[in-house]
Structure formats: structure tokens, C-alpha cells
Amino acid sequence: MARLVVFSLVPEVSDKVEREYIEGFSVDNYNASALRVSHMFFADDTLVFCGAARDQLYHLKGVLLCFEAVSGLRINLGKSEIVLVGPVSDVEDLAHVLGGRTASLPMKYLGLPLGARYKSKEIWNPILEKMERRLAGWKRSYLSKGGRLTLIKSTLSSLSTYFLSLFSIPSSVAHQIEKLQRDFLWGGLGDEFKYHLVNWHAICTPIQQGGLGLRQLIPFNQALLGKWLWRFANERNTYWRQVIACKYGCDRDGWHLKEGRGGHGDWALGEYTDLMAFLYQQKVKRTEADQLRWVCTTSGLFEIRSYYRLLSSQHVSNFPWKSIWQNRVPHKVAFFTWLVAHGKILTIDNLRRRQICVLDWCFMCKRAGESVNHLMLHCEYAQELWSMIFCMFGISWVMPQSTYALLHCWRRKGPAHLIWNAIPSCLMWLLWRERNQRAFEDSERHSAELKLTLLRTLMEWIAAVSRLSFPSVFAFIDDCV
Ligand SMILES: [Zn+2]
């Protein structure tokens, strides 16, 4: 037994019932004969609920002594706590009986707030603080967008998942967290101003639909809480369900709570009615025994992911995500290609759209009219690179109008096309770097030089992720044909 937590209740509450050795508390305040809870075991802890009376604590001590004698295990009272519920007058006297520390509500238990108001914003403060602290640490180090994205996904999302599966997040807190994530993704070093190139809603759509697959907090929170509604309907005999049903009442078929007993405020009425409305739309087979089935999965079992998809109403779209994310190119390059596909890199036309006063000029062909599609596909300089590729592969190709369309029709299936599939990302990435060299460093390379860099970079990337190795650029070209 790692820890013993004793909850001492106010005597008035327990006076209504006949005195017992260790009284526990009645789940329903209005009905003394309802379900009573005297103790619980959770994780490594034992929680005992008893009245705030000396004799009850002596009884408890007796039970613990018996336990020690029978089991040979010792209870460490130094680790135990007496938690007071409501006003208790002779605290020290009571604490002396057992010898543990005393604490009061609200308190922190296993990292979660206990006894705090359910919808209070304060319970989210530790999460926000933790996030801010981590971000401040990471901000100082240089990270590519790809790296930032991975960090947001792995750490920032998982930080709050535990809380999100138990509490309904206030929308102001959700917005604060999302703002932290947003600023971190687009942010530069320190407080330097950076453009947010793609809006947050687009980022939060799944990768297959052109987003970055980050989760929107509010629907994700609802999906996680939906799991409890599902379990309420299905786990008829579990103790937690009995406690809820006793406190708030249970309706007709026992699948959900009674309405109008004040419990729904806590149970987030919105999600509850949405989920139930959805469930009741489903057809009834009269020959089978009634049971809840989740129609979004083949197993009929509830799945948080599918409920999230339903809540965030994501539609199938035709985004060329495989051409971007399923290539063996570095993550930061894939992120760049994703921006290109959305037409969001900061070319001259995009800067002008953001009211930045710059000369309309293509640094590559030295004429007016820099746009994403011009720079990447139709500029003379770009065309030289593309032509080399088409020659290497021995094909003729009509260049599509946009990078989006190009990515759409480029991809070939199968491992034999590793090199081919990596080409658009690699070529556009190098073009963009060359363009920025010219724009900001005032140095330029001839297209012949960039062609060679393109081949070398492709060789390196392919060799890094496969067993292929190329003794020379010529061997590499031979492999393409
Ligand atoms: Zn040009």
C-alpha cells in the first residue's frame, strides 16, 4: 500500500444515518439509503471515507492494525493524508489518532485537481504554464518548421490529453493553447515577427485533406469525453457508473442519465445530446438483443478517433498529400512542398497581397511576375531543370498550370519510383534556396551548376533512405532511365 488518503466528512452529513464503524458517505444527499461509499482503491492508493469523529478514526486504525498483522505489510502513515471535507473543528485531535498529515480541498491528486470547480479555468493553469515553459526552452534553439511540427504533435498534444479526457476545456483556454502552438510553429527566434503562412483551421485538417494533421482541441476534447458516455451505456455493473446513476438518476433503458436533475451541467449537455441523437438515428434490428453499436467502426466498438472525425466534420478532399508526405525527403523539405502546394511561400505576389511594397521581379529570369507557379514551373530557369529531368527519364511532359496540379499527377506507385517521386520536392526546394540567395545574399549560380546540385542532392537523399548507392552521377542517371 503506497499511500492512504482518509477523507473526513463533516459530522452533519453523517448524522442522518445510524452510526456505523466507518460510515463512508451517501452518494445522494437526499436519500440516505442510497449507495454509500466507504473506501476505494485507486492506482497504488487506498481512499477511505469516514465521518469526522474520533471513534471512527479509532475503528479505522483498528482495521489497519489487523491488516498489518494478517498481511505482514506495514502501512506508512507518514505518506498518508487526512483530507477534510467541509468545516471540521477538532482537526489536530483527529489527526493525532492516525498520525498522518492533514490536507484540505481543493488539492492535487495524481496531477489532477480534486475538489476544484469542474469548469474552472484555474485547473488548466499548470498545463498552460508547462507549455509556455517548454516552448521558451525550445524557442532559443534553431528548429526547422518540420521539427517544430513534430514537437507540437508529440509533446504539446500529449501534455494535455490526460486532462482533456477528464475535463471539458473552456473555449478561452483552448484558444490560448492553440495560440501557443501557432506562434511556436511559425515563430522565429525570440520575438522576431513572422508571418503565419497558412491559417490554423487548414493546419488542423488531416494530412490527407491538405492539413498538417494537428488536432483541434475542442472537438478532440469532446471525442475523449464521448468515451465516458459510451462506457456509461455499456458498462452496466461498474462502480463508477453506479455512483453517477445514483447521484443523477438513470433514464428508461439505462443508457443515459435522467434529464433535469442538475447533473447535465456537469456532463456537458451539448456533446451528450449530439452523441445520443447520432446513436438513435441508427436502424434497429428486432431479432437481436439490444446493444449499443458504434457504426463508424467495423467492430461496433467506440473509437475516439472516429468520433473526433465526426465532430470536426472532415470531408474527403483531393489534396495530393502522398506526393508531399510519402516521399523519402527530409521532413523540412516536405513541409516546404506542402506550403508550395497551398501556394503560400512568400513570393513577390504573395508579399504584395500582404500589403508589402516590393518590386514585382523574378530573380531567376530577371523579368516581372514572380509567383509560386512561375518560379517553380514556368520560369525559364526552372524549365531548364525540369527539362533535364524529363531527358533523364526519357519522357515528354506537358507542364501543368500549377504546382498543385503537378503534384497531383506526378506520383508513381511502388518502390521502383523512389527517385522519381522525390524530384518535385527536391527541385523546388533547391530553386527556392537559389532564389533566396539571389534575393538576400546577392550571389547567383548558373543553371548548369544547379542541375548538378539537383542530381547530387537526389543521390544523397535516396542513398540515405535506401540500399541503393551510386558510385557517380552517371551511374545515378543510368539508374533513372
Ligand atoms: Zn522567372
pLDDT tens by residue, 201-258 = 888 888 888 889 888 888 888 888 888 888 887 888 888 888 888 877 776 566 666 6
Q: What is the pLDDT of residue 347?
A: 93
Distance 435 CA to ligand 1 centre (A): 10
Pairwise CA distance, residues 149 & 160, whole Å: 17
Residue 283, pLDDT > 80, answer no
Distance 426 CA to ligand 1 centre (A): 18
352/431 same-domain check: yes
Locus of grid cell 508571418: 195
Residue 178, pLDDT > 60, answer yes
9/85 same-domain check: yes
Q: Which of 5, 192, 277 is nearest to 114 (CA)?
A: 5
Distance 377 CA to ligand 1 centre (A): 9
Q: What is the pLDDT of residue 159?
A: 65
Distance 451 CA to ligand 1 centre (A): 17
Domain count, the chain: 4
Q: What value does the mean pLDDT take over residues 331-352?
A: 93
> What pLDDT band is residue 2 in, cutting at 50, 70 and 90?
very low
Distance 383 CA to ligand 1 centre (A): 10
Distance 375 CA to ligand 1 centre (A): 6
> What pLDDT band is residue 311 in, cutting at 50, 70 and 90?
confident
83: exposed, middle or buried (C-beta count within 10 Å: 0-12, 13-18, 19+)? buried
Question: Which of 48, 76, 105 delimits the end of a domain?
Answer: 105
Pairwise CA distance, residues 297 & 303, whole Å: 7
pLDDT digits (tens, 9 = 90+) for 89-146: 777 887 788 777 788 777 777 777 777 777 778 888 888 888 888 877 777 667 888 8
HEC states along the chain? CCEEEEEEECHHHHHCCCCCCCCCEECCCCCCCCCEECEEEECCEEEEEEECCHHHHHHHHHHHHHHHHHHCCCCCHHHCEEEEECCCCCHHHHHHHHCCEEEECCEEECCEEECCCCCCHHHHHHHHHHHHHHHHHHHCCCCCHHHHHHHHHHHHHHHHHHHHCCCCCCHHHHHHHHHHHHHHHHCCCCCCCCCCCCCHHHHCCCHHHCCCCCCCHHHHHHHHHHHHHHHHHHCCCCHHHHHHHHHHCECCCCCCECCCCCCCCCCCHHHHHHHHHHHHCCCCCCCCCCCCCCCCCCCCCCCHHHHHHHHCCCCCCCCCHHHHHCCCCCHHHHHHHHHHHCCCCCCHHHHHHCCCCCCCCCCCCCCCCCCHHHHHHHCHHHHHHHHHHHHHHCCCCCCCCCHHHHHHHHCCCCHHHHHHHHHHHHHHHHHHHHHHHHHHHCCCCCHHHHHHHHHHHHHHHHHHHCCCCCCCHHHHHHHHC
Distance 143 CA to ligand 1 centre (A): 30
Residue 336, pLDDT > 90, answer yes
Q: Which pairing describes strands 107-109 and 112-114: parallel, antiparallel, or unpaired?
A: antiparallel
Distance 430 CA to ligand 1 centre (A): 15
Distance 427 CA to ligand 1 centre (A): 15
Residue 233 falls inside a structural domain: yes
Q: What value does the mean pLDDT take over residues 287-310?
A: 76
Per cent of the chain over pLDDT 70 is: 82
Distance 292 CA to ligand 1 centre (A): 61
Residue 380, pLDDT > 60, answer yes
Question: Pick the residue with more confidence: 337 or 224?
Answer: 337
Give the number of other Cβ atoms within 10 Å of residue 236's Cβ: 12
Question: Which of 288, 311, 334 delimits the end of a domain?
Answer: 311
Q: What is the pLDDT of residue 243?
A: 83
Residue 197, pLDDT > 80, answer yes
Distance 460 CA to ligand 1 centre (A): 28
Judged by average pLDDT, the poorest of 242-246, 397-401, 442-446 is: 242-246
Residue 258 domain boundaries: 223-311
Asked if 369 contacts 431 with a C-beta cutoff of 8 angstroms, the reply is: no
341/441 same-domain check: yes
Distance 364 CA to ligand 1 centre (A): 5
Distance 198 CA to ligand 1 centre (A): 24
Pairwise CA distance, residues 337 & 469, whole Å: 25
287/325 same-domain check: no
> What pLDDT band is residue 33 in, cutting at 50, 70 and 90?
low
142/128 same-domain check: yes
Q: What is the pLDDT of residue 192?
A: 64
* Mean confidence (pLDDT) of the chain: 81
Judged by average pLDDT, the poorest of 118-127, 329-338, 401-410 is: 118-127
> What pLDDT band is residue 13 in, cutting at 50, 70 and 90?
very low
340/470 same-domain check: yes
Distance 374 CA to ligand 1 centre (A): 6
Residue 234 falls inside a structural domain: yes
Question: Pick the residue with more confidence: 322 or 13?
Answer: 322
347/417 same-domain check: yes
Residue 16, pLDDT > 50, answer no
149/232 same-domain check: no
Residue 111 falls inside a structural domain: no
Distance 368 CA to ligand 1 centre (A): 8
Residue 116 falls inside a structural domain: no
Distance 371 CA to ligand 1 centre (A): 9
Distance 428 CA to ligand 1 centre (A): 13
Question: Which of 53, 70, 105 delimits the end of a domain?
Answer: 105
Distance 403 CA to ligand 1 centre (A): 15
Q: What value does the mean pLDDT take over residues 268-285?
A: 65
Q: What value does the mean pLDDT take over residues 62-71?
A: 88
Residue 429 falls inside a structural domain: yes
Distance 436 CA to ligand 1 centre (A): 13
Q: What is the pLDDT of residue 14?
A: 44
101/150 same-domain check: no
175/209 same-domain check: yes
Distance 424 CA to ligand 1 centre (A): 17
Q: Which of 382, 389, 394 is nearest to 447 (CA)?
A: 382
